[in-house]
């Protein structure tokens, strides 16, 4: 990607000693090449000989040149609020604390980074929380839910739902679990169940994968083949 700030900086005079500066805000992660000149250049590649403006100089004056780059703070990401329609579509959040509404259709809702709030619609949605402490309202309809990393909370609707268990990435708190309708994927073998004041803990070794409220460990140990797929 090449970006040109194609104007002279204040006090810049070609072949003179005026102070120059360039202020640029990077919109994405990557490698940026910076130079100071009044010449426009949108295709410079330091690995290609002769790339650049194409100007030919017959005379150069020796002298000192100092280039200083100062890195500022990254801008704080702004949250997004996105609304779906009645059609099937994909809604994607950014790196802030976003709010996504699936509404109708079989949607794919992707929270991304940040502590997102995601509302599934009435049909079968795929909901991906991403990183951060997300809150997901599934609403019903055979949803596939992967809350991602962080300390997430999933509120289930009246329909069936499948929830991914992610090892080593925090844990998900599941509310409104329904035996025969709610299933978990990705846990593998060797899961353990323990009662607590907040519900049943689902763990693998010392790694807490999920907390299911208003349930007991005996329900999960007695019905594990139905709950875990």
* Angle ∠(142,144,148) on CA atoms, nearest 5: 155
- Domain ends where: 75, 98, 125? 75
Residues 9 and 103 in one domain: no
Is the entire prediction scored with pTM above 0.75? Answer: no
Residues 222 and 117 in one domain: yes
Residues 67 and 89 in one domain: no
Cα 184 to the center of its chain, rounded Å:
23
Residues 48 and 155 in one domain: no
pLDDT, tens only, 140-186:
779 999 999 999 999 999 889 999 999 999 999 999 999 999 999 99
Its domain, for residue 154, covers 81-227
Residues 5 and 98 in one domain: no
Query: Rounded CA gap, 144 and 135, in Å?
Result: 15
Residues 121 and 203 in one domain: yes
pLDDT, tens only, 197-223:
999 999 999 999 999 999 999 999 999
- Domain ends where: 75, 104, 137? 75
Residue 172's nearest CA partner among 188, 159, 156 is 156
Residues 181 and 210 in one domain: yes
């Amino acid at each position: 990607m090449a970006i040109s700030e194609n104007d002279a900086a204040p006090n810049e005079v070609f072949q003179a000693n005026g102070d120059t500066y360039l202020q640029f805000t990077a919109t994405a992660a990557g490698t940026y090449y910076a130079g100071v000149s009044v010449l426009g250049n949108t295709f410079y590649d330091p690995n290609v000989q002769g790339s650049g403006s194409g100007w030919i100089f017959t005379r150069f004056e020796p002298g000192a040149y100092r280039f200083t780059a100062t890195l500022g703070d990254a801008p704080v990401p702004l949250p997004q609020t996105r609304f779906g329609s009645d059609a099937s579509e994909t809604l994607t959040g950014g790196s802030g604390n976003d709010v996504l509404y699936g509404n109708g259709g079989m949607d794919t809702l992707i929270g991304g980074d940040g502590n997102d709030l995601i509302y599934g619609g009435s049909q079968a949605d795929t909901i991906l929380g991403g990183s951060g402490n997300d809150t997901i309202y599934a609403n019903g309809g055979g949803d596939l839910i992967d809350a991602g990393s962080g300390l997430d909370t999933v509120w289930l609707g009246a329909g069936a739902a499948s929830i991914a268990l992610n090892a080593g990435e925090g844990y998900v708190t599941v509310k409104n679990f329904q035996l025969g309708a709610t299933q978990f994927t990705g846990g593998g073998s060797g899961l353990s169940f323990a009662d607590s004041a907040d519900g049943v803990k689902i763990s693998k070794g010392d790694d807490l994968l999920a907390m299911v409220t208003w349930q007991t460990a005996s329900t999960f140990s007695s019905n594990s083949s139905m709950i875990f797929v």
